[in-house]
Amino acid sequence: MDMPLYVVTAEGNDQTLISCNSSSNSCALEGVRCGTQYSIIVSVSSDKCSSLRSPPATIKTGIYVLYE
């Protein structure tokens, strides 16, 4: 069976790159920073074909506030 491989790449407005790979329809981008805007791009490939990269989607992470 030909399993697809999804690749998700996030580029932060601070130029950091984070990526994850998955054979399912989800993966976890680990190491994102609070209060940072990211441009997210997804692509998929398999033994038979590969996709074009998705148009970028923009997200902004929340700001972490510690109350003592």
Q: Domains of the chain: which residue ranges? A: 5-60
Which residues in the chain land under pLDDT 50?
none
What's the pLDDT at 63? 79
Indicate the burial class of 48 (C-beta count within 10 angstroms; 0-12, 13-18, 19 or more). exposed
CATH 3.40.50.970 fits 5-60, yes or no: no
What's the pLDDT at 50? 86
**Other C-beta atoms within 10 Å of 38: how many?**
23
What's the pLDDT at 25? 80
Indicate the burial class of 17 (C-beta count within 10 angstroms; 0-12, 13-18, 19 or more). exposed
What's the pLDDT at 1? 53
CA 4 → CA 25, 26, 59, distances in Å? 9, 12, 25
